[in-house]
Chains A and B, each alone.
Chain A
């Protein structure tokens, strides 16, 4: 009989090996899934993982990885801080939307003036918008003890309706012939979140994501607040003795993750997406949760996990158009990845032993 024995310390080896192992298992399981769907499993897996990086048109797809991965990493970094402390922000999608609306609102208010100050203002607005939306569950939690998971989630739906209201009403393009959607911000030079080095896909959002990774690393490993966050998650009662004030953590974590999600939304609306439209949000806020866990809640892990997730998206689209693989199969694949990761994660905290009969 197999027995689980808790390790005194989480295993260092397994902390880094589990994501790799999970990815490998998912590739095998995914391959089996694709085979069951009548596709060549090896071709499918290589289309998803290999082609975008090293295939024929990799010069186009590699920058796309950065474009797709940047918002995921940015949001996931913010989420990971909260998750470590046991504060569950599930509403990042809503904060992303509100940040985008705030930033786009600033840009549209200034249109058609051109100034170098507009973009920084937009960035600020995006961060504040996301922060404010994240503050709602924070304040309700602190004041009334309301569960932040559900409040932040309900706010996602509210934000989506707000997005529709804006795209059809206040922010609608007056020169758009009555069609929904705002002006295209990519054509408004002061507001455009352009590539810094053309052809690399590196826009300000990518830069922000990298800065966030470094900031989170420094915070968690060197700063007192980071220490408190880690402690609160692992040993809540000890944390209280150590002087951690839960209220401060709640405000900080929800606020920061809200601000980062809002930033991601702003960079997206001013860059790759280009306009405020009804279907602007594509689920980054939820995928970022997977990225956070896949990256073991560690900043560098999240960076890698975000790129990996972006790879599955882009490779998945490639598989769809080249091999006719249904879009649903890719979603299933991503769900499987998280599943296997969580299952394999067991090995980090527990040791598997053969149970021996104990002497009475």
Chain B
């Protein structure tokens, strides 16, 4: 208890002095789980940070710490940032959840934004993106473009987000190609180029001519390029250096609009704890330029699908849909609710293989 008092009083003192000095900069901090040069997840978060700097100029000062391991080190890094006077801190990985909450309790005047989490406090919000909307577009293109009818999927960890992505892609591939089959490899990593390259190669050797990935490096694109006629999609960032082939499109994490909006809210004093889950519409999920390697009609359909999701007239999980074990899930026209989606732990009907554990 004593330490908490000390910290709070230190923060208050700092806050008072900084407020007294001038109506000065809002300090926005970012805690990254990987290096900003990873070309994927952290890279895109950092782009969001740079967008905040560009938008607000001198009114805002940003700080960041990269490659923060989850656990006690995360708590220290976040506390450090709070002690140094941050007003708003973005913690950009699920694994920072407990640390964020622990620090938030000690610094009630600092606002926290936790990515992909689900626990909130009066000064903690959560935010995530509806990546499954992007997967729907990818699945559609994959189903149309595959000639061998085998689509390879490099999955990371068996968590709801990844399972959602697999299901969404499969549903839309199957819609346009009833013979399509998905082969899934669980890489148990978010970012390990060597392993991803091996996984991609293994899938290609098993006959896949389209590769989808939920891991963040460009290694699968390189493996696909080496193999020749394999289609891939960029993940987390555009991976445009592999366009127009093998990368025919991508899902781009676009955090800038959200980050700018939240920073503005702190500056205006209107910040409140919210749980945001945005998709293509608000701009959080970007679909990378569909290259010319995709046939014109497929491209048009994909763009139409994207537009429908953007305006909210189409939801990727719309019934009739059954679960893998045959039981009914969604009736005709019924749309999946967010709760089920957030905790998704089952495959839809048609997918072979089991979710680990």
Residues of A within 8 A of B (CB): 57, 59-60, 63-64, 67-68, 164-165, 168-170, 172, 177-181, 184, 186, 198-199, 268, 271-275, 277-280, 282, 314, 317-318, 320-322, 327
Contacts and interface: CB of A to CB of B under 8 A. Distances in A.
Nearest to A272: B72
B345 A268 contact: no
Interface in B65-102: 65-67, 69-73, 75-77, 79-81, 83-84, 94-95, 98, 102
Interface in B299-357: 342-345, 356-357
Contacts of A199: 2-3, 6
29 contacts: A60-B3, A60-B7, A63-B3, A67-B72, A168-B157, A168-B356, A177-B160, A177-B342, A177-B343, A178-B159, A179-B160, A180-B157, A181-B95, A186-B98, A199-B3, A199-B6, A268-B72, A271-B72, A272-B71, A272-B72, A273-B72, A275-B98, A278-B157, A282-B69, A282-B73, A321-B65, A321-B80, A322-B84, A327-B66
A317 B83 contact: no
B158 interface: yes
A41 B115 CA distance: 35
A273 B160 contact: no
A179 B70 contact: no
A205 to B, nearest CB: 11
Interface of B: 1-3, 6-7, 10, 35, 63-67, 69-73, 75-77, 79-81, 83-84, 94-95, 98, 102, 118, 157-160, 188, 342-345, 356-357
A344 B343 CA distance: 57
Contacts of A177: 118, 160, 342-343
Nearest to A275: B98
Nearest to B80: A321
A317 B73 contact: yes
Given A199-B2, A321-B64, 7 more contacts: A57-B10, A164-B188, A177-B118, A178-B160, A268-B72, A277-B71, A322-B84
B157 A282 contact: no
Q: Which residue, of A57, A272, A314, has the highest number of chain B Cβ atoms within 10 A?
A: A57
B70 A279 contact: yes
Contacts of B158: 168
B71 A274 contact: yes
Given A178-B343, A180-B157, A321 B77 contact: yes
B3 A277 contact: no
Contacts of A179: 94, 118, 159-160
Contacts of A321: 63-65, 77, 80-81, 84
Contacts of B356: 168-169
A126 to B, nearest CB: 17
A317 B69 contact: no
B2 A317 contact: no
Nearest to B86: A321
A280 B2 contact: no
